[in-house]
Chains A and B, each alone.
Chain A
């Protein structure tokens, strides 16, 4: 990744035109040719520096459900419980964190009922309490991760 790649990543995290020649417009704003932008994006995707070039949807607006959940897992059971939790396809990601609440995971499902069922099932299979912390308000964060 060189300086031009960084500029592309930083600029196109903020948005991408919806027009007939969006790459041309984006390239002109960056002082590049359309061809060079296309080639570089292709390479960044192939190298997996970018996870995607496309849309990020609002899951809840699409009718889906999301929540953040946490558990207090005894250290000696950590691996076993992680395996159970990660086995749920509803679990989108799962992080070990340094705290008494030491396992934090995000669940994403197509309906709110599926979310409740998955949380119940995780409690049943682990024998541990799952704390459900759905969002009340999301504060807008402009886009970030500078390359």
Chain B
């Protein structure tokens, strides 16, 4: 079970780890927590998945990934898990989700491909279609035209809760 010390720790590192030789020691100093305790708590938080990832968080546009396509498919419910798992293994797929259909929007599987240009993305999508035998399903490709807003996550102590994995960015 998480306690308030875990939440204090999560809040303390949310904007980044110290860039110093002993970052967990430095975090501990600020919180009045021993380095070993910081390491033990973070190890658990990582293992239970509350920390999904730790390390470099990149801005895709900064790395030259300017073409961003959201592709949606209408996959029969019986196959969607299997196909979602396969699609997510392609090296160029950056996000993959199953979402509910609506009467106006029959698509239930979403994936994002971030690429350096549109042609590359379309070629990768073609490959994905062949590899996963997707061409039999109805789909739509939605390229982004403009990004209006992009913000990171900000948490509060002692019980933070806010975004983290910001889907479909």
Q: Which residues of chain B are near A64, meaning CB under 8 Å? A: 161-164
- The answer to whether A49 has its CB under 8 Å from any CB of chain B is yes
Complex Cα–Cα for A20 and B87 (A): 37
A90-147 interface with B by 8 A CB criterion? 91-99, 101-102, 104-106, 108-111, 131, 133-141, 143-147
The interface on chain B, measured as residues whose beta carbon lies within 8 A of the other chain's beta carbons, has a size of 83
Could you say which of B39, B140, B149 contacts A18, with CB atoms under 8 Å apart?
A: B39
- The answer to whether A38 has its CB under 8 Å from any CB of chain B is yes
Q: Which residue of B lies closest to A129 (CB)?
A: B104
The interface on chain A, measured as residues whose beta carbon lies within 8 A of the other chain's beta carbons, has a size of 74
- The answer to whether A13 has its CB under 8 Å from any CB of chain B is yes
Given A96-B144, A139-B87, verify A133-B100 contact (CB < 8 Å). yes
Interface centre among B24, B145, B159, B167 (most CB of A within 10 A): B167
Q: Which residues of chain A are near B148, meaning CB under 8 Å? A: 82, 85-86, 93-96
B40-62 interface with A by 8 A CB criterion? 42-43, 46, 48-60, 62
Given A57-B14, A59-B153, A86-B148, verify A131-B161 contact (CB < 8 Å). no
Contact B153 A57 (CB under 8 A): yes
Contact A58 B56 (CB under 8 A): no
Q: How far is the CB of A109 from chain B (nearest CB, A)?
A: 7
Contact B96 A139 (CB under 8 A): yes
Given A21-B22, A51-B57, verify A137-B97 contact (CB < 8 Å). yes
Could you say which of B87, B98, B146, B151 contacts A96, with CB atoms under 8 Å apart?
A: B146
Complex Cα–Cα for A92 and B164 (A): 10
Q: Which residue of A lies closest to B150 (CB)?
A: A93
Contact B161 A99 (CB under 8 A): no
Q: How far is the CB of A122 from chain B (nearest CB, A)?
A: 13
Contact B97 A59 (CB under 8 A): no
Q: Which residue of B lies closest to A101 (CB)?
A: B105
Contact A97 B142 (CB under 8 A): yes
Q: Which residue of B lies closest to A70 (CB)?
A: B105
Contact A62 B58 (CB under 8 A): no
Interface centre among B49, B60, B147, B166 (most CB of A within 10 A): B166
In the complex, given contacts A57-B52, A141-B95, what are 15 additional A-B residue pairs having Cβ atoms less than 8 angstroms apart?
A: A16-B17, A19-B24, A23-B19, A23-B21, A49-B63, A51-B58, A54-B17, A55-B10, A57-B10, A96-B146, A106-B166, A108-B163, A110-B162, A136-B99, A147-B58
30 pairs from A and B in contact (CB 8 Å cutoff)? A9-B58, A15-B54, A15-B55, A41-B19, A45-B19, A48-B62, A50-B56, A50-B58, A50-B62, A54-B16, A55-B51, A55-B53, A56-B57, A58-B49, A58-B52, A61-B49, A62-B10, A62-B160, A62-B162, A93-B147, A94-B148, A96-B146, A97-B144, A131-B102, A133-B102, A133-B110, A135-B99, A141-B93, A145-B94, A145-B114
The 3 A-B residue pairs with the shortest CB-CB distance, nearest first, are: A108-B163, A57-B164, A139-B88
